Amino acid sequence: MKRRKFLAGAGVATAGVVAAPHVAKAATIEWKMTTAFPPGQPFYSIGPGSLTDLTDRIREMSSGRLDIKVFHGGELVPAFEGFDAVRQGIVECNGWVSYFGAGKVPAAQFFGAVPFGMSTQGQNAWFYIGDGIKLWHEVYEPLGLVAFPVGCTGVQMTGWFNKEINSVEDMKGLRLRIPGLAAKAYARIGVDVKLLPGGEIFPALERGVIDAAEWVGPAQDKILGLNKAAKFYYTTGWHEPTTVTELAINKGAWDALEDDLKAIVQNACAACNIVSHSWAEANNAAALKEFEAGGTILKTLPADVVAELKKEMGPVYEELAAEDEVFKKVMDNYFAFKEEHDIWAAASETVWHSQLRDA
């Protein structure tokens, strides 16, 4: 009797079923993301490591508390205008490669692709262990943004050409689609450089509006059908030894997130950075074999052309550093880290690839 009175007094049901406590469902935060990439494109837009994979991971890990709707290039704003849309608060985040905004933020190019720079391993080491992400935030703070690496292509191809390149002279007057710092070196040797969104490359190359185009690598180039628009496919990767996709986030929207949601976004970005690179590494060989079987002529950019481009990159870096102290600060940090990393790369990756080649 005493037990029954105690249970009743405590408000506990005596029928053997204890009512579950009421838990308020957390409100869903809805964001919009723009991208610079065409819809339906694996690696960037759909599939493992893509920007939609990122939003799926964030939604799942947050149990739906952060729901990001993706608008691919041209669906909400033009492909290269998403960055400004984030700054203006029109959308909360944007996915692209930072060199697309080189005219706005020259220093940000070090977070995208660095000609004659570090490998994927070195770049990630700089981001996650060195000062890379810290500097990225510092560069973007005056713009009201934060950013994280969210994708990685690995080494890129030099690109598709409608004629064979045998010397520096063959590059003069060539209309080449190429972004970022590499475009400045190409311009210095007489190339007519163009910047086009991914969705515009094929028609421009097919119709002869441009003579050559760089996109990414075999798997991604196959999706755009670039092998049907040009015959010669060149490699070296000098211009983009690794290329990183950026997720830029409006700082006001970022600061409004709970700490656990911030951690979810950061970890989802890191996961997609690795998974996207893995996708490229897993699919490039099959695409390359398919190209060769279909008549594509695979070539290596002549050594004298690469040497000339390397010579011209020095003044490019020096001029930009003289004009922009932020550029210089990031550049100095990047190349100091590279100098240290090169010691290990020379004793590991470089010698391993050399032995594999000569075995």
Mean pLDDT on 66-70: 98
Other beta carbons within 10 Å of 164: 12
In this predicted structure, the answer to whether residue 79 has a pLDDT above a threshold of 60 is yes
Weakest-pLDDT range from 19-28, 78-87, 121-130, 328-337: 19-28
Residues 6+ apart with CB under 8 A from 273: 49, 124, 149, 150, 151, 152, 244, 245
CATH of 159-240+286-324, one of 3.40.190.290, 2.102.10.10, 3.40.190.10, 3.90.870.10: 3.40.190.10
Distance CA 194, CA 253 (A): 34
In this predicted structure, the answer to whether residue 328 has a pLDDT above a threshold of 80 is yes
* Whole-structure pTM value: 0.89
Mean pLDDT on 339-345: 96
CATH class of 30-155+242-282: alpha beta
- The model's confidence at residue 349, banded by pLDDT at 50, 70 and 90, is confident
Given a contact cutoff of 8 angstroms between Cβ atoms, the answer to whether 123 and 244 are in contact is yes
Annotated domain spans of the chain: 30-155+242-282, 159-240+286-324
Look at residues 124, 199, 150 and name the one whose alpha carbon lies nearest to residue 49.
150
Distance CA 118, CA 336 (A): 11
In this predicted structure, the answer to whether residue 345 has a pLDDT above a threshold of 90 is yes
pLDDT digits (tens, 9 = 90+) for 177-220: 999 999 999 999 999 999 999 989 999 999 999 999 999 999 99
Mean pLDDT on 151-178: 97
pLDDT digits (tens, 9 = 90+) for 230-245: 999 999 999 999 999 9
Percent share of the chain, pLDDT over 90: 88
Predicted pLDDT of residue 218: 97
Predicted pLDDT of residue 116: 97
Mean pLDDT on 23-47: 88
358 or 9, greater pLDDT: 358
Q: What are the b/e assignments for 200-237, b being 16+ CB within 10 Å?
A: bbbebbeeeebbbbbbbbbbbbbbbebbebbebbbbbb
Tell me the three state secondary structure of residue 285.
helix
Weakest-pLDDT range from 6-10, 200-204, 320-324, 341-345: 6-10
In this predicted structure, the answer to whether residue 78 has a pLDDT above a threshold of 90 is yes
Predicted pLDDT of residue 13: 37
- The model's confidence at residue 136, banded by pLDDT at 50, 70 and 90, is very high
pLDDT digits (tens, 9 = 90+) for 258-270: 999 999 999 999 9
Tokens 């939604």 appear where? 59
Taking CA atoms, 27 is separated from 24, 90, 260, in Å, by 9, 21, 14
Predicted pLDDT of residue 15: 38
- The model's confidence at residue 355, banded by pLDDT at 50, 70 and 90, is low
Would 30-155+242-282 and 159-240+286-324 be classified into the same CATH topology? yes
Tokens 């990630």 appear where? 124
Mean pLDDT, rounded, of the chain = 92
Predicted pLDDT of residue 20: 43
Give the gyration radius of the chain's Cα atoms. 24
Predicted pLDDT of residue 350: 77
- The model's confidence at residue 157, banded by pLDDT at 50, 70 and 90, is very high
Distance CA 124, CA 6 (A): 62
State how beta strands 29-35 and 66-71 pair: parallel
Mean pLDDT on 61-71: 98
In this predicted structure, the answer to whether residue 54 has a pLDDT above a threshold of 90 is yes
Predicted pLDDT of residue 158: 97
In this predicted structure, the answer to whether residue 24 has a pLDDT above a threshold of 70 is no
